[in-house]
Structure 1
């Protein structure tokens, strides 16, 4: 499976209400690509094999992480539901509730999972009308949060014009997979979800996005997103691995390193390096101590963007 394969989804699926983790979403995406390559509806409705080696390749993780991720995804996928809207025979909105998969299996020691899509999902990935969205698999491989991935998919629906219509805060929360009890204040929602997602999309995909707030009185009621595709020159400047000083800490003192590792973008992009039970995962002080030491020992492992970029925020 090549990075240049296209992910295709009906807009109804992208706009649907569901809550799953990043790994499960990645597995669904890989299964969608394999399903569309099968050709016939009978095969698409069959069992799809997702190998840990493919997951490792496309999302640039080690083998152990790939195996663990697939097993975790398999355990959660079967319980995952989604709610989507279509029309009945008289043109009225019809609210549907279903499951992503009717079977999810993990082969202990085999290094793969098996996924069988639910009957309601199959038309949403195969019988695509004019209302569907496509993007290249490689564009989402460096996104490390489910919010960023879903934000990217939301934006891709409007790629031809580079701007979304106004999206209400309630609709946006639904489409990003934020549950009702999570981040209830606007400040928390923006800092923990929206701004993190925007930063990840800007740093790790082929588009640059900004948003405009819409208010009624003093209350924010919605957002409009404007975005543009990066030029080839911009992408090369951002990702060029041969620029020697982009990923080094030469000339930076401990105070500057502290600012870097406390940067919310740095924390969002590298929190997968620590476990929740470790010292670094339990306190800000522990995180700072651990990450500064890692930067000093081997800064080359931090390649999501040039190290000094974190000093600019």
Structure 2
């Protein structure tokens, strides 16, 4: 009796791509991986997803992916070996909504370590019928930055980053999950109460996403049964969005001020920068320059210009002060100039306050002028 022909295999040589693509089915599956195992899987998805995008996935063919140890660690090779070994035993499960059932898969039955020309690799084989669970992108799929994912140190942050990316990719900035459904997706221990789930999973993910992905993830109960929270509504905002909102809020507060109040605020803001008296006079008497001053100051404090190293030089250049020379009339009597300045401002002379303390936001500065509401 002739031997059965071996199952064909497609070999993928590792080529690091900046973006990951994966099926939404995989994103919302329950995964048993540890943080380090998840990073190995992330690199595997990096290969599969980009093969799918390029149309290189062959149907009904096993796929073998090799991942260099150096992509995961500089020297802790024993940890990678242990994670690769345990990876072969871990399952993922998919919920079948039509039958209210789960499909359990052990996706990586064959994992081995290789040493080739002095370099160590992990070799992972995916069976042909498992490949679509990762790489069948369809019309909707999850897309995220590889480096951000690899920087996350909590498996809950890793999983929430995938979920957030899935919704962010289709510009869905608000979404809901049943608490039990999300607990299942995140593979939370059965012993977790709601407060444990919130503190140990959601809040941990929230902190890491803000620090490492510049994503602000917030949530609130959207449905309760008695006192029990059964559904949560999430909102995604980026740090850039928060900065824009802060600048817009400052602009709205400024638009409500009378001209003399804008003059006072102008001098208070200018006291936080290294500007000469004659430069302040030019700015305070030119509405366009004053508006630019307020806008740049707000953008600095709201984090919209993180690349600016020297705010004083940037401000002077943006206001055109770097190309102007001191008018002769402004230099006639320095003492007179200093004596006149307090008539337009309620703060100490600029020489006392210049860049000497914490920068104040426009919002906090306005609080000293706008009267409190009575009621």
The TM tier, using the shorter chain, reads 0.5 to 0.7
Secondary structure of 2:71 counterpart: helix
- Whole-angstrom distance in 1 between the partners of 2:143 and 2:226: 37
- Residue 49 of structure 1: how far off its partner (Å): 0.9
State how many pairs are aligned: 230
Give distance in 2, aligned partners of 1:43 and 1:98.
17
Q: Given that residues 3 and 136 in structure 1 are in contact (C-alpha distance below 8 angstroms), is that contact kept between their aligned partners in structure 2?
A: no
1:77 alignment partner in structure 2: 87
Return the match for 1:112 from 118, 121, 129: 121
Which aligned segments of 4 or more residues in structure 1 are displaced greater than 6 angstroms?
238-244
Q: Deviations over 1:137-174 (max 9, x none)?
A: 12213210000010111112211334343211111111
Q: CA RMSD in A?
A: 3.1
Which of these residues, 160, 182, 188, is aligned with residue 196 of structure 2?
A: 188
In structure 1, C-alpha distance between the alignment counterparts of 2:84 and 2:158, rounded to whole Å: 19
The 1:14/1:21 distance shift into structure 2, 3 A limit, reads: same
Match of residue 173 from structure 2: 163
Q: Decide which of 206, 213, 217 is 1:209's aligned counterpart.
A: 217
Q: Which runs of 5+ in 1 are unaligned?
A: 57-62, 245-313
Q: Is the 8 A contact 1:169 1:222 kept in 2?
A: yes
Q: Deviations over 1:61-90 (max 9, x none)?
A: xx123x233212211111011111347xxx
**Deviation of the 1:205 alpha carbon:** 0.6
Partner of 1:247: none
Ranked by relative contact order (alpha carbons within 8 Å, sequence separation 6 or more), the top structure is 1
Q: Are 1:51 and 2:62 an aligned pair?
A: no
Corresponding residue of 2:205 = 197
Q: Higher Cα Rg: structure 1 or 2? A: 2
When the two structures are superposed, what TM-score results if normalisation uses the length of structure 1?
0.64
Q: CA deviation at 1:185?
A: 2.0
TM-score normalised according to structure 2 size: 0.54
Match of 2:278 in 1: none
Cα distance in 2 for partners of 1:92, 1:177 equals 21
Instruction: List gaps (5 residues or longer) in structure 2.
Output: 1-14, 244-299, 311-375
2:189 to 172, 179, 182: 179
Q: Structure 1 residue 198: deviation in Å? A: 0.8
- Residue from 21, 40, 57 that aligns with 2:57: 40
